[in-house]
Structure 1
Amino acid sequence: MTSATLIRVRKSSAGEQFAAFVVKWGFVGVTIGLVAFFAISEPSFRTVDNLFGMLKFIAPTAIAGLGVMLAMTVGGIDLSVGASAGFAVSIAAWTMVVANQVGGVAVTVVLICGLLIGALNAFLIVVARIPDLLATLTTMFVIVGLKLIIVDGKSISSQMTLANGQTAQGKFTADFLWLDRGSIGPVPVPVILFFLITVLLWFLLERTRWGRALFAVGTNSEAARLAGIRVQWYRTFAYMGCGLLASVAGLLLAARIGQGDVTAGNSLLLDAVAVALVGVSVLGIGRPNAWGTALGAILIAVMVTGFTMLGLPYYFQDFGKGVVLLIALLFSFTFSRRRTVVTAGSTTSN
């Protein structure tokens, strides 16, 4: 090997190290930088109450994003998460206000509906072999239409007038509202649920054979099948899990709103997908992961809260989310591809 080749290898190694550092720590640095900027610009930003407020605000989006992340582990995507969450809001309200049932019944009904929605997606994708984008998009329209049929196109609230002219006797029960307004010590319930679900999914994906099987299916389903992995079963599990988590997000939204708003969940899809995509690039892991998704959600919460405290118009939030997603995609593809090329070049030179 010539001296020129040796120099090229050394330069490639330095470039590889820089690319690896940027990919691994870039988003962590951006998050820390934003926190520092907003904390200096607005003293109330750095209070404990604001911290828990941010996490509580982003919890439904984060949980829905974790659902999308679960679908991504098997190489898929779920575009019905927003509709599923909105369906959960209306069904929870209908169960308590119109059917006059307690909060526990509403939670049970909503979670069952979430599993059924996930099962429908799994049937369309796994059995009918419809591409995931088309299948979940179809499910989204079906869910939205079914929701409007059930609630007669109206938002549901206490003392509302029903189609038969009678007044609804039920209401949002205190035990249900506790999902949003309750706390354990100083920590709000939505924040606890957010982190419990994150830890559970992290353990499932990173510390169990189920997680390894899910990633194997997402990487190469045919190779996974030849290795004895039940590909269809794991894909079904992922989509049903996504439907379940979307319903949990909807329950938190319903408890926050206190009524069955038919527009609830409309904006959740884009945010949930963005959070999951950002999570792929966090810490340079390069694949769907629970902690990356959680950090992506926290980054968006920091940005939205900071913009609001600085008095910026609401439409700056969408611009900021777009910039964050753009940076995430650059980290995931451009820098990662450069690192791969550099590594290959070093190997060839050797």
Structure 2
Amino acid sequence: MKKNKLGIYVHVPFCVRKCLYCDFCSGTDLNSDLVTDYFRALREEIILNNHVAKDYVVDSIFIGGGTPSAVGSHHIQELLTDLNKWFEIDGNCESTIEVNPGTVDVQKASTYISSGLNRMSVGVQSLNEKHLKRIGRIHDTKDVVRTLSDIHQAGFLNVSVDLMFNLPEQSLEDVMTDIDLIERLNVNHISYYSLKVEENTPFHAMLKNNQIQLATDEQERAIYHEIIEKLDNIGFKQYEISNFAIPGYESRHNMKYWSRDAYLGLGLSAHSFIDQQRFSNTVYLKAYIHNLLDKRLSRSAVETIQGKDVIWEFLILGLRKTKGVDISEFKTIAGNHYYAYRQILDNLETNGLIAFDETSFRLTKLGMDLSNTVFVELLI
């Protein structure tokens, strides 16, 4: 019997330094014993998920963080060996690792390739020295150029970068300059995120105390549309609200999230979606390590998605993609509820938030700006 496809996300929660805007589950304790124990726990979690492994073939792996490149490459090498031992890995598997500029060189990148990785995602965020310092990054523009050169020299052909806009005091000209510089550095995928200031981050306190200022909503949206246009002009086609790619280099792993395909999360705080169940691991590092070294999974929450929640998820995730939602597939998912949702969708179309063609519907330019409003309207 043909096996279904599975994505695997592995969380590596170690960083050289925590950025001022970051609320991810990560820390800066790079003690070698702690890191070793963490990867020992990951191995146990891989083994304990053998019941999942037997039903799937893995066609995407994403090692994220944190900063996975902050730990020794031998840990990543052993992790991938364990995944290949306990899971069936597709011969065409997209295998990505996140790195930060200055934490990877030719030798480390070459080790990643020999371990089976074939895609790298580089946390650039900005190419402006002032903005990099302001948001607490440890690298500078020279580090970005050097790291991307080393990655290419090692043999990586599929390279993505993360960029940010709506940074404090960042102008439209600054953003356009970032794109001009990135265009010269031979990447084929860009994730472009607007800064969201989260609670319990230094930036939240700084914003509250008027130490930093952000653009207005109108200014932020205007810059976003300029980004879309400029990236399109240099060959990067938008395929999701925050993601752009040279055609053929869209992220297979990220598409799983937006298409409600199965994925297994391994590591601290990692989330999974399998057989209409969403579940996640504990966010407490010591508990995660202790439980798994005691050969017990370290889950903190399990939720079965059913009824109208399935329909809502299908819609809001599908509408993040620029190709939108397939009408025939939506009819199958919605069943008897189709006409109730169709009435809402027709109203959204009348208000200019959604556009239909013969086979699908998608967010308009205005709909992307007001996507949260659209998603709330669809919650019935």
TM-score interval for Structure 1 and Structure 2 normalised by the shorter chain: under 0.3
Compare the two structures and name the one with the higher strand fraction. Answer: 2
Structure with higher Rg: it is 1
TM-score by length of 1: 0.22
Higher relative contact order (CA 8 A, sep 6+): 1
